[in-house]
Amino acid sequence: MQRMIRTRGRSANRIRQSWDNRLFDALANTFLILLTIVTLYPLWFVLVASFTDYKLINAGTLLLYPRGFQVAGYKMVFADWRVWTGYANTLFYTVCGTAFGALVTILAGYAFSRKDLPGSGILMKLFIFTMYFGGGLIPTYLMIKNLGLLDTRLLMILQGSVSVHNVIVVRSFMRTNIPDELLDAATIDGCGNGTFFMSIVMPLSKAILAVMVLYIAVSHWNSYFNALIYLTDRYKYPLQVFLRQILLQTAENHELAEDVEAVMEMQQMVATIRYSIIVVSTAPILCLYPFIQKYFVKGVMIGSVKG
């Protein structure tokens, strides 16, 4: 806060602001400060509550820092087989799905960026059409059923890995970052498409590859509806489906607790367990996020180029 006041003072010295500009600044800054608090506090509260004594949580206390520090919620979370199974499955689906999706997207995006490919314009139009119109839930379900992909891990990896939007983002990136002259020069030197792609396009496309990997990985990590619809075997469930059970369904899991006392304690701790599991499931992304933020922003910016 003090620093902010100082900077305000400095800028006021530089140019004498009129009262209406100062009023605008004040309003704008108040808005931004309030927004920051409103965004950050719920996240902070979840983190703090997960370490706080459950009696305080059940009393509905407003917290700024952990009180009655304890990790009982986390102990419960890590004792639950669903968390481990879900985590392992999610990791598997995310890693495989991202590898598959990024590869397919980059290859297609590059091919679409080339202007000397007859027929690619029509194909692109066919791709774009699917962004605005689709068969819908039931025909998709029947299609997948007929392919024999119901309740398979393969489907969890494939579905949602390729998106037309991402292909367009890659295409725009390649069009602006790989000049035609480069291809011409390479062709004169006797370089074929394969060599050109591997030794020139790929090294120049590290940034867009990072963007794609992150986009696809986050969407895999957070997706739950596909698993809900297409999986029946719960040992294949990703974390988000178990999260839904633990966070939103009132029927609690009593497999861990043999005696009545333990059940009672579990019920007392429901809220704490829920806060803990939110932290456990979301921490990986939010911890990495500040470091990879620039790639995400880059992706949005490239995607906004019309074309």
Partner 1 sequence: MRNGRRGRRVKGFVNQQAAQKIRKRSKTWKLMKKNWLLYMFLLPAALYIAIFHYGPMYGLQIAFRDYKAVNGIWGSKWVGLKWITTFMDTPRFWMIFKNTLKISLYSLISFPFPIILAVFLNNVRNVRRKKFVQTVTYMPHFISTVVLVGMLSLFLSPRNGIVNMLAGLFGGPTDTYFMGRADYFSHIYVWSGIWQSMGWGSIIYVAALTGVDQELHDAAQVDGANKLQRIWHIDIPSILPTIIIMLILRLGSIMGVGYEKVYLMQNSLNITSSEVISTYVYKMGLQDQRFSYSAAIGLFNNVINFIVLIIANKTADKVSGSSLW
Site for partner 1 in 67-126 (CB under 8 A): 103-105, 107-108, 110-112, 114, 116-120, 123, 126
Taking a C-beta distance cutoff of 8 angstroms, is the pair 186, 201 a contact? Answer: no
131 is written with which tokens? 């962004």
State the distance between the two ends of the chain, measured CA to CA, in whole angstroms.
44
Half-sphere exposure of 159 (CA within 13 A, CB side): 21
For residues 65 and 133, which CB has a smaller minimum distance to partner 1 in the complex?
133
CA 228 to CA 238: how far, in whole Å? 9
Q: Which of residues 204-243 bind partner 1 (CB under 8 A)?
A: 218, 221-225, 229, 240, 243
Give the residue among 276, 247, 234 at the shortest CA–CA distance from 78: 276
Q: Which of residues 6-25 bind partner 1 (CB under 8 A)?
A: 7, 11, 18, 20-21, 24-25
Give the residue among 195, 209, 238, 233 at the shortest CA–CA distance from 92: 238
Size of the site for partner 1 (CB under 8 A): 97
For partner 1, the binding residue among 36, 176, 199, 267 (CB under 8 A) is 36
CA 249 to CA 237: how far, in whole Å? 16
| Binding-residue pattern over the window 173 to 192 for partner 1, x denoting contact by CB under 8 A | -------------------x
For residues 32 and 185, which CB has a smaller minimum distance to partner 1 in the complex?
32
For residues 186 and 259, which CB has a smaller minimum distance to partner 1 in the complex?
186
For partner 1, the binding residue among 34, 58, 95, 179 (CB under 8 A) is 58
CA 98 to CA 221: how far, in whole Å? 10
Q: Which of residues 134-173 bind partner 1 (CB under 8 A)?
A: 134-143, 147, 158-159, 161-162, 164, 167
For residues 61 and 176, which CB has a smaller minimum distance to partner 1 in the complex?
61
CA 23 to chain centre: 38
Smallest gap, in angstroms, from Cβ of residue 85 to partner 1? 16
For partner 1, the binding residue among 247, 257, 263, 266 (CB under 8 A) is 247
CA 173 to CA 170: how far, in whole Å? 5
